[in-house]
Chains A and B, each alone.
Chain A
Amino acid sequence: MLAPERTWWKPMGRLEKTWLTVALVWCIFLTIMMPLWYFMGKQNVPTETYRTTPQQYAATVNDFVAKYQVGEENGIPIVAAPPGSDVYLRASAWQWYPILQLEKGKQYRLHVSSMDFAHGFSLQPVNINLEVLPGYDYVATITPTTTGEFTIVCNEYCFLGHHTMVGKIIVE
């Protein structure tokens, strides 16, 4: 709170220098971890994205459902596409459509886009979370490593019925 003396540009003390060096090394380590994991890790944030429109994407999802539907639950189709193929998920207030059926250890190209607001793809209890926006076809290349029924919770607020927006992925 006091104006310093005229010359305050002074060399740092020994302890200041020590801490500054250690902190800087830590910051460099933090920086390196991200590219390291990008090249070595098996869990990376998807970046593949295409422009789309809600109409166009809805049509793609409908074609996909018509082609691979294997069942139905509470009026929502269950869809099983062959491993390695493109699978489509549509988010709208307040529904995830359709229910996807996948095989453990097989790779899929999971597309996700929104028909209206921003939504949040939150796969539980796996705990993978992605943002879903209208106009963007977001492609995640995923390989399920566990089996069971997984819930997709919407975790981006999408107006008053937000909490009711729950979907499902089945892995066998």
Chain B
Amino acid sequence: MTALSPTFPWAKDAKDDYRACPVTTLKVDMHTERLIIANAVMAVVCLTLGGIAALLIALTRWQAIHLLDATWFYRLLTLHGIDMLVAWIVFFEMAGLHFGSTVLLNARHAAPKLAWLGFILMTVGGLMANFVVLFDTSSIVTFTAYVPMKAHPLFYLSYILFAVGALIAVITFFVNIVVAKREARFEGSMPLVVFGLMTAAILATYTLLQGAAAIVPAFFWSLGLMDLDPGIYRNFFWGFGHPAQQVNLAAMVAIWYALAQMTVGIRPLNEKFSRLAFILYLFFINLGSAHHLLVDPGLSFGWKAVNTSYAMYLAVLGSMMHAFSIPAAMEVALRAKGFRKGLFGWLRNGPWNEPGFGALVTSMILFGWVGGVTGVTIGTEQINMLAHNTLRLPGHFHATVVGGTTTAFMGFTYYVIPLIFRKELKLKKWAVWQPYVFGFGTLLVSLGMITSGLQGVSRRNWDISFAGVVPGTVDLTLAIFGIGALIAVTGGIMYITVVLTSILTGPRLEASNMLLVAGTNNPLLESTQLTDHQLEDKQNQPRGTLVLVFAFLVWFAVYYLTNWWLLGRTWFIR
């Protein structure tokens, strides 16, 4: 069997501190291993904090229960946004960047001290933000702390510390790649997964600099040292806030490719196709900041239309390309194994009891079919008037960031435990069910939010019954959201239990298997044996995937056009 590492088994080279991974045949730098563990632990801590907040705020918006008082609701809403959307995801991404820039390239970590500095700053910033929001009432400003609503200066400072820390960690990613190339640790082009992570890292650099342009002035403004314009601040804030989600997107797609290779043994069908899709993200996705400003005063139609459409929906095109290329590669790999019956025989025979596969499929469906379609629709200039600041917004991004990114990251964690933590994965049954439970809960959360938002229910609102206009069906849709939240939180608890049980109990153990549950074979290494001949075989062509993506397009068109129809029924406005 071909090894992933071209030089495996390599001669032990005294300069580096690394171990050989018997499963993947890759070099694992020991600095990287410790950095991954530290970042992953902080990510799970933040996920736990944000998850507790999620449960409590969902039980408050579920009108029949209405658990918290107004102040605690807004406080925990602020906390939930920071811990989930920023801390959990960014800590996990930093672990991913350290992994991608060293292990996948058979390289060493070239700047571990810098990386630790970044980690410490992120940790201090993240904990400080939690602390300030919990103990300072004036800092209950929600995640989008728009000027001129003034939080405590420490609130802005905590963002700055976290962002500087993240920026430092991102810089070490680039340093590692340059050093790996110079030391000839890998031959030719970098692997596709690293290419995807690099896209995320480039977007992150831009995002964090843009964040500095927004938050640093806000910090000085909160100290009374300068003035800020509320409209312009919103532009700068979203120059940071929206691209931050695109970092998640690029990182998630990279993880998708990784999970598909680890669980099904894919070989990307066409590297050019997949890489072009990442390049489209790189060039066009940041224009999406305009999504948040579509009904703001002072902006022209032309500016909004060009930006909100990513020039010409070219970033959407990138996602639609991945939406084909990943399942297509899975189809080809499974067909090559002999699952050739009909259009979907390959899919039926996928390793559904393998946590990484379950997480991958759940993540792709929720991200594309729910998150992507609703996102493009509400990001349409005129349609945004129906959706701005209603629950449709969180309905959209819970499908992308929770259903998509978080599910994928959770699935990936199960492999990090044996391969990096070097602990046996415990509670395997739980791990098998977890992506489905979590995904189903998140689906209900999103649908409940979207259908409530369609009826005009506003987001970030403790009690909508004040408005006195809420139709009775809202009670139903908010209950769906609440029940979904209970199920999703159950999935979250399953994840945290599996992770903690695995890393806290049992001896340190060298991994022996790629697959956790579904078998003893090693799809990762099998992927190296897929020949061009197999990829080109007529029997192995991804016809089923083509049917799936066309079905997706029909659903996309129906949802999109229905929204234009809804818009046409409302008051005339110009």
Partner of A34, one of B186, B268, B309, B385: B309
Partner of A47, one of B104, B299, B541: B299
User: Are A4 and B271 also in contact (CB < 8 A) when A117-B149, A125-B471 are?
Assistant: yes
Instruction: For residue B106, give the distance in angstroms from its CB to the closest CB of chain A.
Output: 9
List A contacts of B314 (CB < 8 A): 27
User: Are A1 and B190 also in contact (CB < 8 A) when A19-B324, A124-B469 are?
Assistant: no
What 0/1 readout, one digit per residue, does chain A (3-34) give for beta carbons within 8 Å of chain B? Answer: 11110111011011011101110111011011
How far is B386's CA from A148's CA once the two chains are assembled, in angstroms?
20
Are B546 and A19 within 8 A (Cβ)?
yes
Are A142 and B572 within 8 A (Cβ)?
yes
Are A130 and B298 within 8 A (Cβ)?
no
- Which 10 A-B pairs give the minimum distances between C-beta atoms? A155-B458, A8-B271, A27-B313, A138-B297, A143-B572, A155-B389, A136-B297, A129-B388, A49-B297, A23-B320
Are A1 and B104 within 8 A (Cβ)?
yes
User: Are A12 and B273 also in contact (CB < 8 A) when A144-B571, A166-B468 are?
Assistant: yes
Partner of A157, one of B74, B229, B272, B553: B74
Are B546 and A130 within 8 A (Cβ)?
no
List A contacts of B428 (CB < 8 A): none
8 Å CB interface, A83-138 against B: 107, 116-118, 120, 122-138
A19 to chain B: closest residue by CB:
B324
Are A1 and B270 within 8 A (Cβ)?
no
List B contacts of A27 (CB < 8 A): 312-314, 316-317, 320
Interface residues of A (CB under 8 A from B): 1-6, 8-10, 12-13, 15-16, 18-20, 22-24, 26-28, 30-31, 33-35, 37-38, 41-47, 49, 107, 116-118, 120, 122-138, 140-146, 150-151, 153-164, 166
List B contacts of A127 (CB < 8 A): 386, 390, 455-456, 570
Is there a chain A Cβ closer than 8 Å to B231's Cβ?
Answer: yes
User: Are A45 and B230 also in contact (CB < 8 A) when A122-B458, A144-B571, A159-B149 are?
Assistant: no
What 0/1 readout, one digit per residue, does chain B (288-306) give for beta carbons within 8 Å of chain A? Answer: 0000011111111100110
Are B230 and A133 within 8 A (Cβ)?
yes
List B contacts of A150 (CB < 8 A): 469
List A contacts of B230 (CB < 8 A): 118, 133-136
Are A16 and B324 within 8 A (Cβ)?
yes
Q: List 17 A-B contacts (CB under 8 A).
A: A2-B261, A6-B187, A8-B272, A15-B543, A15-B546, A27-B313, A30-B376, A38-B305, A43-B382, A118-B148, A129-B389, A135-B229, A145-B571, A155-B461, A157-B144, A158-B149, A166-B468
How far is B568's CA from A127's CA once the two chains are assembled, in angstroms?
12
Are B466 and A4 within 8 A (Cβ)?
no
Are B553 and A26 within 8 A (Cβ)?
yes
Are A162 and B320 within 8 A (Cβ)?
no
Instruction: For residue B412, give the distance in angstroms from its CB to the closest CB of chain A.
Output: 12
Are B573 and A140 within 8 A (Cβ)?
yes
Are A49 and B298 within 8 A (Cβ)?
yes
Interface residues of B (CB under 8 A from A): 4, 6, 70-71, 74, 104, 137, 140-142, 144, 146, 148-149, 186-193, 229-231, 234, 257-258, 261-262, 267-273, 293-301, 304-305, 309, 312-314, 316-317, 320-321, 324-325, 328, 376, 380-382, 384-390, 455-456, 458-464, 466-469, 471, 524, 527-528, 541-543, 545-546, 549-550, 553, 556-557, 560, 564, 567-568, 570-574
Are A9 and B299 within 8 A (Cβ)?
no
List B contacts of A159 (CB < 8 A): 140-141, 149
User: Are A131 and B295 also in contact (CB < 8 A) when A2-B4, A16-B269 are?
Assistant: yes
A30 to chain B: closest residue by CB:
B313
Known A-B contacts: A23-B324, A34-B380. Give 17 more (CB < 8 A): A1-B261, A3-B187, A9-B271, A23-B553, A43-B568, A46-B574, A107-B572, A126-B570, A127-B456, A129-B390, A131-B295, A131-B389, A135-B230, A141-B573, A153-B458, A160-B140, A166-B468
Cross-chain pair count, CB within 8 angstroms: 284
List B contacts of A13 (CB < 8 A): 269-270, 541
Are B188 and A3 within 8 A (Cβ)?
yes
Are B271 and A45 within 8 A (Cβ)?
no
How far is B571's CA from A144's CA once the two chains are assembled, in angstroms?
5
A51 to chain B: closest residue by CB:
B298
Are A151 and B571 within 8 A (Cβ)?
no
How far is B547's CA from A19's CA once the two chains are assembled, in angstroms?
10
A159 to chain B: closest residue by CB:
B149
List A contacts of B386 (CB < 8 A): 127-129
How far is B231's CA from A123's CA once the two chains are assembled, in angstroms?
21
Are A160 and B70 within 8 A (Cβ)?
yes
B324 to chain A: closest residue by CB:
A19
Partner of B325, one of A16, A143, A144: A16
List B contacts of A161 (CB < 8 A): 70
Are A3 and B191 within 8 A (Cβ)?
yes
B186 to chain A: closest residue by CB:
A3
User: Are A37 and B325 also in contact (CB < 8 A) when A6-B188, A26-B556 are?
Assistant: no
Give the interface centre of A20, A34, A141 by most chain B CB atoms within 10 Å: A34
Instruction: For residue B42, give the distance in angstroms from its CB to the closest CB of chain A.
Output: 25
Are B316 and A151 within 8 A (Cβ)?
no
Are A135 and B231 within 8 A (Cβ)?
yes
How far is B310's CA from A31's CA once the two chains are assembled, in angstroms?
9
How far is B184's CA from A75's CA once the two chains are assembled, in angstroms?
77
List B contacts of A146 (CB < 8 A): 571
Are B458 and A126 within 8 A (Cβ)?
no
Instruction: For residue B221, give the distance in angstroms from its CB to the closest CB of chain A.
Output: 14
Instruction: For residue A63, give the distance in angstroms from its CB to the closest CB of chain B.
Output: 21
Are A133 and B296 within 8 A (Cβ)?
yes
List B contacts of A162 (CB < 8 A): 74, 460-462
How far is B384's CA from A37's CA once the two chains are assembled, in angstroms?
13
Give the interface centre of A47, A116, A145 by most chain B CB atoms within 10 Å: A47
Partner of A43, one of B298, B320, B390, B570: B570
Are A4 and B188 within 8 A (Cβ)?
yes
Partner of B301, one of A47, A123, A138: A47
List A contacts of B317 (CB < 8 A): 23-24, 27
How far is B77's CA from A163's CA once the two chains are assembled, in angstroms?
14
List B contacts of A47 (CB < 8 A): 299-301
Instruction: For residue B148, give the distance in angstroms from its CB to the closest CB of chain A.
Output: 6
List A contacts of B389 (CB < 8 A): 120, 122, 129, 131, 155-156
B525 to chain A: closest residue by CB:
A2
